[in-house]
Structure 1
Amino acid sequence: MNQLFFLLVAFSSMQACTGVSSSQLPADKNLSGPAKVAQNTIGEIAVPAGYSRLVLSDSSFGTWLRKVSLKKDNIVYLYNGTKKPNQSAQYAVLDVSVGRENLQQCADAVMRLRAEYFFNRGEYTRINFKASDRTVLSFAEWCNGFRYHLQGNKLIKRQSSSACTNLRQCFDAYLRVVFSYCGTASLQQSLQRVENIRDIRAGDVWIEGGYPGHAMIVVDVAASARNEKIFLLAQSYMPAQDVHVVRNPADDNSPWYKAAEGQPLYTPEWTFASGSLYRFYDSW
């Protein structure tokens, strides 16, 4: 394998989702222990007074995200079953598989949720992700027996398997390949910048691609009568760990963030520069 490409693959499969620690947040913004929540789904997380959730179509990604179940145990576990050392970032933990390998990190959690939505709807041709070498990894082609193999510094697609008979097993195997060859840098190439943060939507992605880099997904949005927007954020991190809704460092009793123009976004384990909000091109 080409040495440079090996490094790119290694960075993609072990995304360096390492940024500012809570000690680097603005003064008096450090967090304490895990919050205790009783909600069963993302859509049941209480909205602050004066705000209401946006009205969405029944078929939208945002509606699907609101129905994602939350775990009763509000502890973030790593892929190997051990507890994450930092238990202060999460408000709630999504009941979403993290797998048994150190693969589903920050960008991967975004891709997992997007892929699960389309898989649930049977829209297999819409499950596509761009690898670090710009090869498009297609789930529909994977289902038809096509696999991706390294040849030099390029992924080559060729039919080397029979068509899938167990779609869920095929889907899980496909995602392991996606998580191995995609990362924050390649994901950002598949997104378009949201110019006006007031247009923020569920499914949008806060992202800074690179090595290190980080990505977090907007899982719900609410608005006031004056159209002031607030939103919920979810992330995985490094090592691979449970996907979780994060708390707001500015208010450790709330997971809601204000959509503020021209301002950095401070989260428990990463600070995004202003202008880091992106959206998939094929918005739904």
Structure 2
Amino acid sequence: MKKTVIIIAGLLLIFLLVRTNSKGKQLTNHIKGVIHKTFSSPDYINKNGDSIVTRVKVPKGYRRVLYPKHSFQEYLRNYPLKKYGVPIINYDGSRYFAQHWHDAVLEIPVPKNGLQQCADALMRIRAEYLWNTNQKQKIGFQFTSGHYCSWEKYAAGFRPRVKGNTVSFHKTAAPNYSKANFYKYLNLIFTYAGTASLYAELPKVAIKNLTIGDMLVKPGFPGHIEIIVDVITNEKGERLFLLAQGNTPAQNICLLKNFEATEISPWYQFKEDEPVYTPSYYFDKPIFVRFK
């Protein structure tokens, strides 16, 4: 009986490890990444690291790309992290069902209103960076309708009146430039902006020009978006990247493992016209956008 169980388990494992796409191309299953990592992957994680730059080690022969002090790139690279091993928590306090996907959880609160989903989380990071570096005049995002909503206008008391795809702005509130009002503004952005609006609004970036802060995007309803939070390079000019994401339902922002190339996980390598597999999403095309 034990032998029969082993044979069945083996056949099931083979079935899980091999799958095909719509064109018949053989693809690996994420389960393969988990099993392979257990036995052969090098460990690039420093469990005592309390920021992205101190949590993730650099493979031999690589070095971190340098960026100006106080830049968005350095802001992301040095983003603080929660203690190693903490779970991903949804906005309602429950645990996310997949706790094996991440190597870090970013130290950023998750509102209980459920609005801070994948694109929203990245817009929040960008907006907070601009706020914290006294660039508040640059805070603004485009609604899915195409209408631009800036923090300056919102703080001055202007509010959108939305009727279908028609949006108009009217001064209906007293000026309020407080931090509390800033987060009310972000909740508005989370309601009317998302992956599709970021894709439509932001400039596209070629893989050869990628930098920290650029975002891997699949537009749609729903789509998905993830952000580069570190970049390293070697003497050949080859580069590797770290990816972080928010998700749906709204939950902690996390640093993703790489199940398709466990030998370099959590680092990723991108190539033109080649799909990108991340633990929670399959990007059939490597499309990247950049915040203005």
TM-score normalised over the length of structure 1: 0.84
Superposition map of 1:63-142 within 5 A: 63-72=74-83, 73-142=85-154
Match of 2:225 in 1: 215
Match of 1:31 in 2: 34
Q: Judging changes above 3 Å, is the alpha-carbon distance between structure 1 residues 88 and 159 closer, same or farther for their aligned structure 2 residues?
A: same
Cα distance in 1 between the residues matched to 2:235 and 2:139 = 36
**Where do 5+ consecutive residues of structure 2 fail to align?**
1-16, 20-26, 38-44
**8 A contact 1:233–1:245 mirrored in 2:** yes
Matched, 1:48 2:59: yes
Give the SS at the match of 1:29.
Answer: helix
Q: Judging changes above 3 Å, is the alpha-carbon distance between structure 1 residues 82 and 252 closer, same or farther for their aligned structure 2 residues?
A: farther
Give the SS at the match of 2:125.
Answer: helix
Aligned residue among 270, 280, 290 for 1:259:
270
Aligned residue among 211, 214, 228 for 1:204:
214
Q: Report the Cα offset of residue 36 of structure 1.
A: 8.1
Aligned residue among 178, 203, 221 for 2:189:
178
Match of 1:194 in 2: 205
Q: Which deviations, in whole Å up to 9, do the C-alpha atoms of 1:5-39 show, x marking residues without a partner?
A: xxxxxxxxxxxxxxxxx997614534379x88321
Q: Report the Cα offset of residue 250 of structure 1.
A: 2.2
Q: Report the Cα offset of residue 128 of structure 1.
A: 0.8
User: Identity of paired residues, percent?
Assistant: 35
Give the SS at the match of 2:203.
Answer: strand
**8 A contact 1:263–1:273 mirrored in 2:** yes
Aligned length: 257
What's the C-alpha RMSD, in Å, of the aligned pairs?
2.1
Q: Report the Cα offset of residue 90 of structure 1.
A: 1.0
**Where do 5+ consecutive residues of structure 1 fail to align?**
1-21
Q: Which deviations, in whole Å up to 9, do the C-alpha atoms of 1:76-131 show, x marking residues without a partner?
A: 00011111011111110000122111111111111111111101112111111110
**8 A contact 1:198–1:228 mirrored in 2:** no
Match of 1:241 in 2: 251
Aligned residue among 225, 232, 236 for 2:242:
232
AA matched with 1:249: F
Give the SS at the match of 1:171.
Answer: helix
More relative contact order in 1 or in 2 (CA 8 Å, sep 6+)?
1
Q: Judging changes above 3 Å, is the alpha-carbon distance between structure 1 residues 275 and 30 closer, same or farther for their aligned structure 2 residues?
A: closer
Q: Report the Cα offset of residue 46 of structure 1.
A: 1.2
Q: Judging changes above 3 Å, is the alpha-carbon distance between structure 1 residues 36 and 51 closer, same or farther for their aligned structure 2 residues?
A: closer
**8 A contact 2:205–2:289 mirrored in 1:** yes
